[in-house]
Structure 1
Amino acid sequence: MDFKPLVTLLAVVNPLAIVPFFIHYTQGFSSQQRRDTVVTASFSAFLVIATSAILGLEVLEFFGISLASFQVGGGMLLLISSMNMLNAQPAEAKPLTKELEQGAEKAAMGASIAVVPLTIPLLTGPATISTVVIYAERAQTFWQMAALVGYGVVIGLATAVCFALADPIARVLGKTGINVMTRLMGLILAALAVEVMALGLTKLFPALAH
């Protein structure tokens, strides 16, 4: 079984790096509200990955986009994400825009922020979706596709564990520890991004293969 998609997804999603955001957005939540947020965010992350795996290629076909072009574009997106991570930022990091600030205000009022902004865009954004679609194309059998969807379950569980243990993780690792982990995952992701781009470029320009 090929575990490269799982390694790539873990590097892109990197729930450890989102722990500080989780703590920030759930300040003032009751224990039950926090548990509900953990469950919703974890299931939403799985849902994004599973949907991308099953329907991603059909969406590309609908818009007439070749997979080779998508691989190059997706690889560039992964490379940009890895640069973010090498600077100790989440792969899907975005500035604290007005939308996210409003999300924080909603959290203070007791509304769930598990889907936006925790799951989308912080956990599973464009880089994650691109990764899943690229690996979905390589799935030749039903079981390979099932394994890819299964990796979504693993990502969901990893997210649940990290968020459920957010306070202990933040205390043990601290900001420095989380930054080191994020940079290491960024280095792995950069190498994988170059590989994805190389595959796409050789399909677009076969002469490069020689």
Structure 2
Amino acid sequence: MIEHVLLVEVFVTLFVIMDPVGTVPIFLSLTAGRSHATAKRAAWQAVAVSFLVITLFALFGQQVLDYLHISLPALQCAGGLLLLLVALELLTGKEEEMTASADANIALVPLGTPLLAGPGAIVATMLFVQQVDDWSSGLSVALGVIAVHLALWAAMRYSLPILRLIREGGVLLVTRIAGLLLSAIAVQLVADAVRAFIAGEG
């Protein structure tokens, strides 16, 4: 039997952290100028990469971090710095350099990780996995993670008509807004990591 309370808790927590709605302007800016089919492919590839990364960390994350002597704040700070680089490229109009490589690269970085499967989502999932004590709680956590990724895919997939509607000028505006939002997320990640280091958690 599914533990509905745990399922809802996992879904709501990851939904807030991964923010499907907030992902839309960033996705639109990164896929601007690409064909509809390429953008659709980038959406499901990014979700697949995110799901794979979060699943791997849920199963083996703590062991890997312990083996490499990496703390969770260090992982969070690294993800924040990587996002900050992406945000600066969006803000300074250099996103063409970032998106000029193969289509799969956009789905891998920055969409799949660290934007979707970022430090916050990874850490939250690892904490939920620690609550698993039987098959029903494990199934609830798994279904919560799957549901969030379906929401992420739907948000990106059905944002594509917006891209055709707003045209080039709108894309430029969305790109700058996305860069601002992403830089704020990145700075918050780094700030939280520094606070954790000061508190002695790193």
Query: What's 1:107 paired with?
Result: none
| Distance in 1 (alpha carbons) for counterparts of 2:114 and 2:127 | 19
Q: Verify the 8 A CA contact 2:43 2:156 in the aligned structure 1.
A: yes
Shift of 1:41: 2.3
Query: What's 1:152 paired with?
Result: 149
Question: 5+ residue gaps in structure 1?
Answer: 27-33, 104-112, 206-210
Q: Verify the 8 A CA contact 1:5 1:135 in the aligned structure 2.
A: yes
| Distance in 2 (alpha carbons) for counterparts of 1:47 and 1:147 | 15
Structure 1 157/169 Cα, relative in aligned 2: closer, same or farther at 3 Å? farther
| Distance in 2 (alpha carbons) for counterparts of 1:152 and 1:60 | 19
Listed one character per residue, the Cα deviations across residues 109-159 of structure 1 (whole Å, up to 9, x for unaligned) are: xxxx3xx13312241134543433212112134324432332111111111
* 3-state DSSP of counterpart to 1:25: coil
Question: 5+ residue gaps in structure 2?
Answer: 1-8, 132-136
Query: What's 1:110 paired with?
Result: none
User: Given residue 118 of structure 1, which amino acid in structure 2 is its aligned partner?
Assistant: I
Match of 1:136 among 125, 130, 133: 125
TM-score by length of 1: 0.63
Query: What's 2:3 paired with?
Result: none
Query: What's 2:176 paired with?
Result: 179
Query: What's 2:26 paired with?
Result: 17
Listed one character per residue, the Cα deviations across residues 58-103 of structure 1 (whole Å, up to 9, x for unaligned) are: 343554536993422222123324534664628xx98837xx6463
Matched, 1:118 2:115: no
Query: What's 1:161 paired with?
Result: 158
TM-score by length of 2: 0.65
Q: Verify the 8 A CA contact 2:87 2:183 in the aligned structure 1.
A: yes
Structure 1 167/79 Cα, relative in aligned 2: closer, same or farther at 3 Å? same
User: Given residue 51 of structure 1, which amino acid in structure 2 is its aligned partner?
Assistant: L
Structure 1 43/102 Cα, relative in aligned 2: closer, same or farther at 3 Å? closer
User: Given residue 25 of structure 2, which amino acid in structure 1 is its aligned partner?
Assistant: L
Structure 1 51/160 Cα, relative in aligned 2: closer, same or farther at 3 Å? same
Q: Verify the 8 A CA contact 1:53 1:133 in the aligned structure 2.
A: yes
User: Given residue 81 of structure 2, which amino acid in structure 1 is its aligned partner?
Assistant: I
Number of aligned residue pairs: give it. Answer: 181
* 3-state DSSP of counterpart to 1:96: helix
Structural RMSD (CA): 3.7
